Structure formats: structure tokens, C-alpha cells
Amino acid sequence: MAARRAVSSLLSRCLYASPNTLSPSLLPKGERAHGAAAGILQRFSTAAAVEDPVAPPVQVNYTKLLIDGKFVDSASGKTFPTLDPRTGEVIAHVAEGDAEDINRAVHAARKAFDEGPWPKMTAYERSRILLRFADLIDKHNDELAALETWDNGKPYEQAAKIEVPMLSRLMRYYAGWADKIHGLIVPADGPHHVQVLHEPIGVAGQIIPWNFPLLMFAWKVGPALACGNTIVLKSAEQTPLTALYAAKLLHEAGLPEGVLNVVSGFGPTAGAALASHMDVDKIAFTGSTETGKIIQELAARSNLKPVTLELGGKSPFIIMDDANIDHAVELAHFALFFNQGQCCCAGSRTFVHENVYDEFVEKSKARALKRVVGDPFKNGVEQGPQIDDEQFSKVLRYIRAGVDSGATLVTGGERAGSKGFYIQPTVFSDVKDNMVIAQEEIFGPVQSILKFKDLNEVIQRANASKYGLAAGVFTNNLNTANTLMRALRVGTVWINCFDVFDAAIPFGGYKMSGVGREKGVDSLKNYLQVKAVVTPLRNSAWL
């Protein structure tokens, strides 16, 4: 199927827990949010799988902060629990970093940049270390995937066959760039020799989200190291385990001490301290738009460090009346429900031409009912739990808001099972542009299907959003595709596909979906300074 082929093209995505903008009064009634398992089983035949969790085939070995090449306790001695989304039970207690730990990590990164071998090392040797790291990722593929599934709740098959291989691919991509970053000699209007140098920016602060922890680790760490920088990385408090494991492998590959420091902790303490630190030269953040605003303000109020932001989205997925409806249904389903709907670029506004709308809705309902929800460690499971209770409750509030606003609840709408943070695949029809579920980022398995009449109308409506991260177009008409790809105000347009990610393809948004680009050659620019060097020429043979 089209969606399966798109998966094999390697996917990833952004981001994080979006701010909760709905009132707690919208929380569904107890009987709606916690419907009896017997009722669920009538509609979702695999829901029983969530009741008996599989023992993860991996152990947790790294729970301390990684500072200056060593695993250490937090300065305060505090820890926090990281939870299994399948049950809500504690996996491990992880060191809780705060401002003092950020200071220690920044000091180590600064010393490594100013005095250590990393920026002075030949680019070729940096490349070899990144390549050895990629080999170690391949060697430890199953352990990394199991930790990711256990801590995040995503299907193990997705982590093991798509995301971890993409992690090693990204590191090889950036290893290839390390010795190809160069400056320019430019002509001047006079007797001067002018060099343009591209230099590492220094100490990079990086804050990654919980929805794709390993891939976001690669998107941030890869280009920063290729350019010769040092790093302080704050992992998401919901998913701290795989960043520590990956960082350990990177040091095993030969990374010098202090070049990569990993601090687990919370946004208001560790994250804020990193963004406002006076000795951090650059900050990169993936997460919600509201948090991105705070990061940018903290950076400006401190040392005016440059900021790249990869933020939220409310991506339109446009289905024209010439489309193959069966293929369009499958692709739209994938675009929304992949990764439990916890994707910043999810196709969360499904625009369908009025001529095929009713057929599309019925087939989307049937596909949602077939979706396999269950323990993500079990073979064949398509959808695991949401990341935590906060996200679980927020999604249920959005579902209630959709019902209250007059949208038609076609299927789903309740929790699945009685344990963990599982939600039924949910489909709404008759959705209007002014409804909350059509405007705000739900970040969950909730598909909103809207009807449109013509091309001009859908362009206007698709662009009528504060977000501009991505869009999908499904049509057999080349002229229609060309019109939409230029008219849509977004950073990525997928035509007859969705969530196709590649190391070389830049990713980022327009409007309030962010600033700057991840991946590809454009990502290197985030971690380089440009310096002009001008020298007089005397009796030059040529200019």
C-alpha cells in the first residue's frame, strides 16, 4: 500500500507535548473516557492486547547525567521517574538536572571547545568518529529500539525497522559532510584578497522532544558535531533513556570528553537555564509553539544567541475528486494516525472534495476500525499508548470539544482498555474551520475530515492557519499538484505520499511552525559562523 511504501522510505517527526489550551471542563465524563472494555472489544478486536504488557527485552543501564564524558548524579541528588505508557508504572528513576547541572555541562562544553581536540581535529577524523558511531547504532539496533518503545510507547517494529536505522543513516550523512564544509574566495572591487570562512559556532544548546527522541537526537547532534561544535543537550523528561544510551555509544566511538553533554530534567528548570545561559552560543529547540516563544525570549534576554525552532503544525491533507479513493483513505489514515498521532506534521486537517466526501468518510471509518491498537511490543500492532496521562487526558478533552461543537463522531472517541494511556482511533466528519479540533494541534489519534468545493477554496482554507509546517496533496492531475505545491504556505509538501523523510531533505516550517531548517545541507548553516577576512594585495598578477 502507499502508506506502507512511505513508511519504508523512513519517517520521523517532530515534536512534543503541545500546550493544553482547552478548559478542564471539557474533560469527558467518566463513563465516556473510561468506557467498559467489553464495549470497546465489540469495535476494536485487538484492544485486549493492552491488558497484558509484554516484558521489554532490554535493561536500563544509564540513568545519570552525562557531563564531561562521565555519568554523574545531579548536583541536588534529585531523581524523577520515567514511566511506561502502557501501564503508567515506573521504568526507572533518572537524575533530575537543574540550573547547576546545566552550568557544569556548559563549562565542560566550553572547555572542550576552547581547549579540547574536537574543533582542532581534522574534519576527516571527526567524520570517522561519526561513522564508527553509526556502526555502533547498527550493532545495538534492538536495544535502542526496545528502550524507545518502552519509554515512549511507539510500536517496536516502527522503532526497530524505521527509526533506529534512520538514526544511523543520519549520522553517516553528517559524517559525509564533516570534511566538505568550506569557505570561499570572493572577488573584490579593488586590490584585496577576500576569504569567507565558515567556522563552528561554539557551544550549542539543544532541547529535544519526546515523540521521536532518537531521531531528534540525530537531527540536532549530527550537524552540530559535523561542524566542529560542542553540545549540551537536554532530553525530554518523558523520554530520557535513549539519549543517554546513544551518547554512551558516541563516546565509545571515540568522541572526546566534554563534546557532548546530556542533561535530563524539566523545561522550567534545566531547559530555561540552558536557553538563557550566557556562555551558550546557539540554541536549537523542537517542541510546542508556545514553548518556542519562551525559548526565543530567553535567548534574546540573555546573550542574543541565535535560535532555530521546529514547532507545531496543523497540516492540511487535500484529496481531490480525481484521486483513487482507496489509496487516499489509506494514505490519509497513515498521515494522521502514525506514531499515535503524535507528529508535528500529522495530516490533521483532512480536506476532501465534496464529490467523494461521503465515500471517503465511510471508508475512513472502516479503516480506523481495523487499526490494531495494543501493546507496542507485540507484532502487528499499529498503535500504542499516548505518551503520558497529561497527553491522554488532553486528547480526550479535544474529542469532547469536537462533539460539543457539532462535529459528527464517526467512530472511536474513548479510551481503549482499562490500563495505560490508549485511545481508540477516532474519526470526525462534518468538521468546520472554526471548530477547535480544526484549529489547534491535538497531537493524538483524532482525524478531522472537512469538505471543500473547488481548488481556490481549499487553498484559502488550508492557508488560514497560524501554522505552516507541512501539507499533503492527493491528486492524479499534474496541473493541480503544481498549483497546490506553490500556493500552500508550508515548509514541506508531499504529493501522493506523506511523511517521507530523508537525511538530505530539509524540514521546517513557515509562520508559527518555526524558524530555520533541520536535516540536509541547510541544517549545517545553523551551526556555523561566517567570517570575512580581507588582506591588501601588492602588485598582484590578477584580481
Give, in order, the Cα–Cα distances in Å from 272 to each of 16, 113, 520: 16, 22, 28
Q: Which of 148, 310, 414, 440 is catalytic?
A: 310
- Joined grid coordinates for residue 73: 548524579
487/331 Cα distance (integer angstroms): 22
Contact between 446 and 475 (Cβ < 8 Å): no
Would you say 193 and 126 are in contact if contact means Cβ atoms under 8 Å apart?
Answer: no
Please tell me the distance from the alpha carbon of residue 154 to that of residue 422, in angstroms, as a whole number: 11
Q: Are 230 and 40 in contact (CB under 8 A)?
A: no
Asked if 266 and 488 touch (Cβ cutoff 8 Å), the reply is: no
Q: 310 an active-site residue? A: yes
| Cα–Cα distance for residue pair 290/296, rounded to 1 Å | 10
Distance separating alpha carbons of residues 442 and 340, to the nearest angstrom: 11
Does residue 386 contact residue 433 with C-beta atoms inside 8 Å? no
Name, in order, each residue with C-beta under 8 angstroms of 189's C-beta and a sequence gap of 6 or more.
none
Partners of residue 197 on adjacent β-strands: 531
Alpha-carbon distance of 360 to 185, in angstroms, equals 57
Phi and psi for 199 in degrees, rounded to 5?
-110, 150
Measured between alpha carbons, how far is 211 from 312 in angstroms, rounded to an integer?
12
Residue linked to cell 475528486: 321
CA proximity to 145, closest of 166, 121, 169: 166
Compute the distance between CA of residue 434 and CA of residue 184 in angstroms, rounded to an integer.
51
Count of CB atoms situated within 10 Å of the CB of 404: 11
Q: Find all residues with CB under 8 Å of 421, minimum gap 6, and list them.
A: 85, 86, 88, 153, 385, 386, 387, 388, 389, 391, 392
Contact present, 26 and 393 (Cβ < 8 Å) = no
Q: How are beta strands 90-95 and 79-83 bridged, if at all?
A: antiparallel
User: Nearest-CA neighbor of 359 among 402, 333, 321, 331?
Assistant: 321
**Cell triple for 276:** 538563557
Listed in order, strand segments (DSSP E) in 60-154 are 65-67, 70-72, 79-83, 90-95
Within 10 angstroms of residue 89's Cβ, the number of other Cβ atoms is 12
Residue in 406, 387, 442, 352 with CA at minimum distance from that of residue 211: 387
Which value, in Å, is the radius of gyration of the alpha carbons in the chain?
24
What three-state secondary structure class fits 271? helix
Query: Active-site positions?
Result: 310
